[in-house]
Amino acid sequence: MSAPLVDISSVSHRFGQHTVLKDVSLQIEPGSYTILLGPSGSGKTTLLSILGGFVTPSEGKVFIRGEDCTSVPPAKRPTTTVFQDYALFPHMSVGSNVGFGLRMQGVDGATRAAKAREALALVGLASAFDKKPHQLSGGQRQRVALARALVIEPAVLLLDEPLGALDLKLRRQMQDELKAIQKRVGTAFIHVTHDQEEAMALADHCVVMNDGRIEDEGPPERVYARPATRFSATFMGESTILAGTVTEASDRTSTVATPVGPVSLPGALPVGSTVALAIRPEHLVLGEARGGVRLGTAEVSDVVFQGSFKRVLAVSVEDPSLHFIAKLPATATVQPGDRVAISCDTDQIILLTD
């Protein structure tokens, strides 16, 4: 296997008494799109700032292309950061903004202009070269910021909530563009967001962070289908979580006692151990699932129409602390107050390790 482009090795960071990163190790492959996903305060921006050279970690090392960059200042390492607020110079033309980094490197005017034009073409803004930033829309300004970062050909592009200032529709549109641009240039992107939909739409590799640690990482399809932890199962998409205790186990199956009755799972689990089971909304059935497992009866508490589907919340009759979240077709006729059987296919139950 080839060496990773970026190797974050056992990084911890403290601000005063507050430890905000706890022994984080992460490898980034060349050409990959990595998303750092997590709630506010989980340490995403601090990790990105360490990669960009704006913060030196209290412990651990950062290698980029095999070189120890832990204490190398931002301008001297092969990274560029794109911030949420773009920070374009308002008095300069778009072309000069994009060429700014090259000017700092002492590149001559003609080469700067040619490279800036190339970078603008890459982000679909070739015609904006002579405009001023205020003549552009928010999405276009963000693309100029991207061109300005890409023109200096960094090994790694760091993006801190780059779409945070855009409205939802533009945000979704820019996600598609960002992904297309990243594939076109082939530069490794590391992008911080707390938006799980953004993570799923963009990432080749998704890193779920919580409280200064990496909870889960992998392709988004894997993280969604088989989350490693309870946090990951509820932060990257929604889940119904059932707590249980293993009461019996043979070579091939185990029985887990849950508040809504026994659930049989493949695999031998240690008898007496406590486990958590997660079920994604699209896998919960209101009614009996043929060949599936019955999860008791529930009373529907809310039905939210979401265009192409309905999101249904229901409270277990057997254990009112248990809340089911189901995704049903938009045509489903279920209403608040209805009492329904809940079930699911055994194959769709996710066993969580924490």
Ligand X SMILES: Nc1ncnc2c1ncn2[C@@H]1O[C@H](COP(=O)(O)OP(=O)(O)OP(=O)(O)O)[C@@H](O)[C@H]1O
Could you tell me the smallest distance in angstroms from the CB atom of residue 325 to ligand X? Answer: 24
Three-state secondary structure call for residue 271: coil
Could you tell me the smallest distance in angstroms from the CB atom of residue 149 to ligand X? Answer: 19
- Which residues inside 159-198 make contact with ligand X, applying CB under 6 A? 194
Q: Quick one: tokens of 91? A: 């008095």
Buried b (16+ CB within 10 A) or exposed e, 57-87: beebebbbeeeebbebeeeebbbbbbebebe
Could you tell me the smallest distance in angstroms from the CB atom of residue 216 to ligand X? Answer: 15
Could you tell me the smallest distance in angstroms from the CB atom of residue 215 to ligand X? Answer: 13
The nearer residue to ligand X, 54 or 63, going by C-beta atoms, is: 54
Cα 156 to Cα 135: distance, rounded to the nearest angstrom: 29
The nearer residue to ligand X, 20 or 208, going by C-beta atoms, is: 20
The nearer residue to ligand X, 46 or 239, going by C-beta atoms, is: 46
Q: In terms of DSSP H, where are the helices of the chain? A: 44-52, 94-104, 109-122, 138-150, 168-185, 196-202, 220-225, 230-235
Q: Is 296 in the site for ligand X (CB under 6 A)?
A: no
Q: What is the DSSP code (8-state) at residue 69?
A: -
Could you tell me the smallest distance in angstroms from the CB atom of residue 86 to ligand X? Answer: 17
Residue 7 near residue 27 (C-beta atoms within 8 A): yes
The nearer residue to ligand X, 18 or 252, going by C-beta atoms, is: 18
Could you tell me the smallest distance in angstroms from the CB atom of residue 201 to ligand X? Answer: 18
Handedness of CA 257, 258, 262, 266 (dihedral sign): negative
Which of 36-44, 67-75, 139-147, 332-340 is the region at the interface with ligand X (rule: CB under 6 A)? 36-44
- Which residues inside 15-34 make contact with ligand X, applying CB under 6 A? 15, 18, 20
Q: Contact with ligand X (CB under 6 A): which of 38, 52, 227, 237? A: 38
Could you tell me the smallest distance in angstroms from the CB atom of residue 259 to ligand X? Answer: 33
Could you tell me the smallest distance in angstroms from the CB atom of residue 17 to ligand X? Answer: 10
Helices (H) and strands (E) in the chain, counts: 8, 20
The nearer residue to ligand X, 43 or 57, going by C-beta atoms, is: 43
Cα 342 to Cα 293: distance, rounded to the nearest angstrom: 9
- Which residues inside 251-280 make contact with ligand X, applying CB under 6 A? none
Residue 213 near residue 24 (C-beta atoms within 8 A): yes
- Which residues inside 315-334 make contact with ligand X, applying CB under 6 A? none
The nearer residue to ligand X, 51 or 147, going by C-beta atoms, is: 51
The nearer residue to ligand X, 44 or 280, going by C-beta atoms, is: 44
Of 61, 78, 65, 74, whose CA–CA distance to 12 is shortest? 61
Cα 195 to Cα 172: distance, rounded to the nearest angstrom: 11
Residue 119 near residue 98 (C-beta atoms within 8 A): yes
- Which residues inside 194-223 make contact with ligand X, applying CB under 6 A? 194
Could you tell me the smallest distance in angstroms from the CB atom of residue 162 to ligand X? Answer: 13
The nearer residue to ligand X, 151 or 202, going by C-beta atoms, is: 202
The nearer residue to ligand X, 42 or 175, going by C-beta atoms, is: 42
Number of residues that bind ligand X (CB under 6 A): 12
Q: Are strands 323-329 and 309-316 parallel, antiparallel or unpaired?
A: antiparallel
In the block, residue with structure tokens 């279920």 = 334
Contact track, ligand X, 40-59, x by CB under 6 A? xxxxxxx-------------
- What are the residues binding ligand X (CB under 6 A)? 15, 18, 20, 38, 40-46, 194
